[in-house]
A and B are shown apart, each in its own frame.
Chain A
Amino acid sequence: MDNNKNTAIKIESITRNFVMGSETVHALRGVSFDVHEGEFVSIMGSSGSGKSTLLNLLGCLDRPTAGHYFLDEVSVGELSRNQLAEIRNHKIGFVFQSFNLLPRTSALENVELPLMYNPSYSSRQRRQRAEAALEQVGLTSRMKHTPSQLSGGQQQRVAIARALINDPVLILADEATGNLDSRTSFEILSLFQRLNEQGKTIVFVTHENDIASFTKRIITLKDGRILKDNINTKVEDAREWLENLPKQDD
């Protein structure tokens, strides 16, 4: 691991219990790891392994039962709901499996959404940053389109642009290719790889080995504990895969 770089995430023996009636479910039983700036990590695990819980904690959508979580050197564990909302707004970019774009709203306005809740941006700055973010994901020509006028891949790229607009410390992707066909998945993965090359820290939650092989580090969870935490020695290049796919006859 490259220790010269700043730590983006520091997790120290985090546990998370859910009380379901009389039973207590231990979703996470003491998980610790660090993620440095510029890493591209995938968190693997079958369903029930605790990866969704970990994702919610990393995304400041949930708080740990015990343990410490430092995001960009801020301890997140003790923050209130509103403070968490601010952290999400300033430091995290989400990409969801089901895109979660506002319907009947142009791509540009969808991308602007996080900055709507940040009073330090004027509406002109919002517009400029949204245009820049859409340019980064290659959708300059479709800024005025609404989600229903865009393909699945294009919608996910709008969602990625939305995750980029606040220049986050961390981009969290939850099965971001889960709803896409393989060609489009490779396009999106290639976009993530390019963003990572530009220095973005990305945490990608998935249950597919194929997808994880495109990331630089793979953390595997099982039953609420870390099973493996390996550097991926053979990172696949999504662009190559894309080129090797049989040509589509459109």
Chain B
Amino acid sequence: MSRNKMRTFLTMLGIIIGVASVITMLAIGQGSKESIEKQISDMGANMIMIFPSSGSQGGVRLDASSMQRLTLDDVIAIEEKAVNVSAVSPLVSSRGQVVSGANNWPTSIQGVGTEFLSIRKMEVKEGIMFNERDIRSASKVCLLGKTVVENLFPNGESPLGKTIRFNQIPFKVIGILTEKGQNTFGQDQDDVIIAPYTTLQKRILAITHVQSIYASAASEAVSEVAVDEIVAVLRETHRLRPSDQDDFNVRSQQELISTISSTSQMLTVLLAAIAGISLLVGGIGIMNIMFVSVTERTREIGLRMAVGGKGRHILTQFLMEAIIVSIGGGLIGVTLGLSVSLLIGKAAGWPVTVTENSIIVSFLVCTVIGVFFGWYPARKAASLDPIEALRYE
């Protein structure tokens, strides 16, 4: 083996390439899968919305927003009792004219809790979010969406620290939201002002109930469970009897969730196909190179047997060589696969994720194939008559 360095190297190279390519392919595949799943999940797939259901008073059907069935107690109860809910925020909103200096703009103001941004997957681009103390003291602070900023501050000056007026009430701008663009229904999600819900309840709407509640399930997978928990909690706080209908509606992002699960399923199948094909290709390469390199040595095997080598001597020798070449090549392949994956991740900026399974599976499959196809032709040659093996061309 050490005598024919070129052949040993080429044989090893087959295994190295086999293992490394499988690891790299899977790393790219897995990385893409996770990245796609995260992107869909960032659309707010685990968001849950709770509205009061429309009711009727004296035969007149009433609009849901005029129902006063959701309260802060509901928010607190969900927060405490629904274990699969990771974040919850009340929501009250109002429409009106916002004024800054000479500019004005019709928009809506949303009064929310501190966790609202994470539920809606919104971020603060500049400045800060208000905190619990602002909520307790009903501070007149707000954050502006991009559309509002553009219309109130058309000359490009920073709105941070400025005071705007919404329905005559002054608000201090403490932050600007990162733009989200339109939602699927064509609504501009940046045409919004966010303020503490207490401020809206007390200073604008003069109400004590909340209009709706937003919550986040801990993950997309437990979204359905979280919905059930919320229903149970609300039925309890609303003291509904089993025969009573819900006086609220809980809606999850069914469409997004089913998109996620079908996409994720598809990607898993795709990944398995990539893994299968690259293992197959790598395996066949290894098979060929081992087979050829051992078959090529049939005459050597014949000679060794002619001078007194027994079948087991030959098999031991070739098995040892196959094991050393395969495991050595496998280890180098794993190292190479890891480095190439990291390099691709760095250089091309692709999302790559190397999983332990891909390393273990590719290493095992490739070394087992390598050892088998090193051993099998050697066994075949060792079972030949020495004279036939010697005449092998």
Complex: A105 Cα to B311 Cα, angstroms: 22
B308–A118 CB distance below 8 A: yes
Q: Which of A82, A113, A162 contacts B310 (CB 8 A)?
A: A82
B307–A89 CB distance below 8 A: yes
A61–B386 CB distance below 8 A: yes
Q: Which residue of A lies closest to B300 (CB)?
A: A102
Chain B residues within an 8 Å CB radius of A162: 307
Chain B residues within an 8 Å CB radius of A116: 309
Q: Which residue of A lies closest to B387 (CB)?
A: A61
A117–B3 CB distance below 8 A: no
Total number of B residues with any Cβ neighbor in A under 8 Å: 19
A86–B387 CB distance below 8 A: no
Chain B residues within an 8 Å CB radius of A86: 308, 310
Q: Which of A59, A82, A89, A102 contacts B303 (CB 8 A)?
A: A102
Q: Which residue of B lies closest to A113 (CB)?
A: B307
B379 within 8 A of A: no
Complex: A113 Cα to B3 Cα, angstroms: 15
Complex: A39 Cα to B107 Cα, angstroms: 118
Complex: A54 Cα to B4 Cα, angstroms: 35
B304–A113 CB distance below 8 A: yes
Complex: A117 Cα to B304 Cα, angstroms: 9
A56–B304 CB distance below 8 A: no
B307–A88 CB distance below 8 A: yes
Q: Which of B3, B4, B299, B308 contacts A85 (CB 8 A)?
A: B308
B309–A85 CB distance below 8 A: yes
Mark contacts of A77-97 with chain B using CB atoms, 8 A cut-off: 1 yes-contact digit, 0 otherwise: 000011001101110001010
Complex: A82 Cα to B310 Cα, angstroms: 6
B390 within 8 A of A: yes
Complex: A135 Cα to B303 Cα, angstroms: 23
A117–B310 CB distance below 8 A: yes
B217 within 8 A of A: no
A94–B307 CB distance below 8 A: yes
Q: Which residue of B lies closest to A101 (CB)?
A: B303
CB-contacts of A37-95 with B (<8 A) = 56, 59, 61-62, 81-82, 85-86, 88-90, 94
B313 within 8 A of A: yes
Chain B residues within an 8 Å CB radius of A102: 3, 300, 303
Complex: A104 Cα to B1 Cα, angstroms: 10
A100 within 8 A of B: yes
Complex: A82 Cα to B385 Cα, angstroms: 12
| Nearest CB of chain B from residue A18's CB, rounded to whole Å | 12
CB-contacts of B360-383 with A (<8 A) = none
A114 within 8 A of B: yes
B311–A81 CB distance below 8 A: yes
Mark contacts of B307-349 with chain A using CB atoms, 8 A cut-off: 1 yes-contact digit, 0 otherwise: 1111101000000000000000000000000000000000000
Chain A residues within an 8 Å CB radius of B311: 81-82, 85
Complex: A101 Cα to B349 Cα, angstroms: 54
Contact A105 to B308, CB < 8 A, known contacts A62-B385, A100-B303, A117-B313: no
Mark contacts of A90-128 with chain B using CB atoms, 8 A cut-off: 1 yes-contact digit, 0 otherwise: 100010100010111100000001101110000000000
21 CB < 8 A contacts A-B: A61-B306, A61-B385, A61-B386, A81-B311, A82-B310, A82-B311, A85-B311, A86-B308, A88-B307, A88-B308, A89-B307, A90-B308, A96-B390, A100-B302, A100-B306, A102-B3, A103-B3, A104-B3, A105-B3, A113-B304, A117-B310
Interface of A toward B, CB cutoff 8 Å: 56, 59, 61-62, 81-82, 85-86, 88-90, 94, 96, 100, 102-105, 113-114, 116-118, 162, 166
Known A-B contacts: A62-B385, A81-B310, A86-B310. Give 19 more (CB < 8 A): A62-B387, A81-B311, A82-B310, A82-B311, A85-B309, A88-B308, A89-B309, A94-B306, A100-B306, A100-B390, A102-B300, A102-B303, A104-B4, A105-B3, A113-B303, A114-B307, A117-B307, A117-B310, A162-B307
